[in-house]
Amino acid sequence: MSKFKLVFLMILCLIASQILAQPLFGATVEVEVEGYGSIIEEDVARARDEALRDAYRLAIEEAGVEVEAITEVRDFQVFYDQVTSQAQGYLRSYEILEEDSEDDLYRVQIKGEVVQENIETTKDHQALKQLLEMTGNPVVMVLVAEENMGQTVNDSSAANSITKQLAEGGYQLVDADQLKRIRASTEAEEAQEGSTEAAVNLGQSFGADVVLTGSIKATERGSYEAGDYTFHGAGASARVQAVSVWTGRVIEVWELEENDSALNHQEAGRRAIKNAAQELGEQIVWNLPYYVGGIEGELSTVQLEVKELDSFSESRELLEAVENLRGVESVNLRSFENGIAQIDLEIESKVEDLAVRIEDLAEFELAVLSLGREQLKLEVE
């Protein structure tokens, strides 16, 4: 082979390797959208972040991707919110065209490139990093128990595997030394067995925003002969749930099974657990940001109480006005008695933003009395 041909082939190989190293994206759509955020207590920075998240949702909706959005509130302030894509798509990149504020709203206009493909399929690390930033870089705690053939594994390789994958994906995690102490506690065992209260308590104590709890358990799956050897099978069943520390909600559940075999059941179980942890970790890494803040496909339910209404007719007028507010999906008048209306709302906006919009209703003079995670109380002045 001539020297020229050899060099030419080397160049072709280099180009091919570079192409294969790039993530394979699906069809892309360029969109321009405007996002809005409510300025509360003169916190413009928070409102700008909210406007960008709103623009993210609208961008992938504009590209034909259906999106669900639910928000976490901590001490009446937005901590991070959810961008849940029910279809396949994510915002690969964007640039800000304009941004300004007027009255209680911050507006940002962006031009973005939406990929109509699942981010888990494309393995787009830059987009994942961007998505984590937009959801507030939540801190994650991993409390996944491991059981092999009925025996508890104290130093869970499954939990360590998931933690490692999260770290490599750019997630912020609870300190490893703290985790070792946590996993040995009674409260950790309760969380692993499904107690959301225990998960929330641990998360609050150690600065986590999301706690991954559950277990991976390996059991016998029979045996088979191969030549002079007998191979024993094992199946690992995994169930892990993500608990929001700030609402106490289970925001997503992952369940899967993996099998493997070896010369003894213990080794087969270890291998099956390793397989399950690897697959589980990958699913969590690429999908958790979409669920941060609420269960996929669900809206936030808020109980609205309004006092000092003059009549039932006025409560119906208020109901109609609230139903037309941005971010409100449905309203239901549960009861009306002695000038007090109890209303159930389903919203995809933030509770605090809803409060601001209701207070701004021109035809009513309303004041917020109290605001909680799932409750809003107002009074006609």
CB 183 within 8 A of CB 175: no
Same domain? For 271 and 151 the reply is yes
Flag whether 116 is in a domain: yes
- The secondary element (H helix, E strand) that includes residue 138 is none
Flag whether 4 is in a domain: no
- Give the max Cα distance, the chain: 96
CB crowding 134-169: b at 16 or more within 10 Å, else e: bbbebbbbbbbbbbbeeeebeebebbbbbbebbeeb
Flag whether 15 is in a domain: no
Same domain? For 261 and 341 the reply is no
* Residue where a domain terminates, one of 291, 311, 332: 291
Mean pLDDT of 356-364: 80
Same domain? For 98 and 172 the reply is no
Same domain? For 329 and 243 the reply is no
Mean pLDDT, the chain, rounded, equals 82
Mean pLDDT of 300-321: 88
Question: What DSSP state is assigned to residue 260?
Answer: E
Of the listed ranges 39-53, 184-198, 274-288, 326-340, the one predicted with least confidence: 39-53
* Residue where a domain terminates, one of 83, 106, 134: 134
- The secondary element (H helix, E strand) that includes residue 117 is none
Q: Quick: pLDDT tens for 65-103.
A: 554 444 444 433 444 444 444 446 788 888 999 999 887
Choice between 234 and 177, residue whose per-residue pLDDT is larger:
234
Flag whether 21 is in a domain: no
Q: 3-state DSSP call for residue 88?
A: coil
Same domain? For 69 and 143 the reply is no
In sequence order, the 6+-apart residues with CB closer than 8 A to the CB of 48 are 37, 99, 106, 108
The burial class, CB within 10 Å (0-12 / 13-18 / 19+), for 339 is: middle
Same domain? For 223 and 86 the reply is no
In sequence order, the 6+-apart residues with CB closer than 8 A to the CB of 32 are 97, 109, 110, 111, 112
d(CA 192, CA 215): 7
CATH at 351: 3.30.70.100
Taking each helix axis from N to C end, the angle separating 176-183 and 157-168, rounded to the nearest 10 degrees, works out to 150
What is the number of structural domains in the chain? 3
Find the DSSP H helices in the chain.
3-21, 44-62, 119-122, 125-134, 157-168, 176-183, 186-192, 196-205, 265-291, 312-323, 351-359
Same domain? For 323 and 362 the reply is yes
Flag whether 22 is in a domain: no
* Residue where a domain terminates, one of 242, 257, 291: 291
Flag whether 265 is in a domain: yes
d(CA 381, CA 368): 10
Same domain? For 192 and 263 the reply is yes
Range of the domain at 319: 300-380
Same domain? For 124 and 164 the reply is no
Can you give the pLDDT at residue 9? 56
Same domain? For 116 and 149 the reply is no
Same domain? For 158 and 256 the reply is yes
Flag whether 20 is in a domain: no
Distance of CA 377 to the CA centre of its chain: 28
Flag whether 16 is in a domain: no
Q: Is the torsion defined by CA of 50, 53, 55, 58 positive or negative? A: negative
Q: Quick: pLDDT tens for 165-205.
A: 999 999 999 988 888 888 878 999 999 999 999 999 999 89
* Degrees, nearest 5: CA angle 262-267-271: 85
CATH at 159: 3.40.50
Mean pLDDT of 347-361: 77
Is 347's pLDDT higher than 50? Answer: yes
Same domain? For 110 and 188 the reply is no
Choice between 326 and 293, residue whose per-residue pLDDT is larger:
326
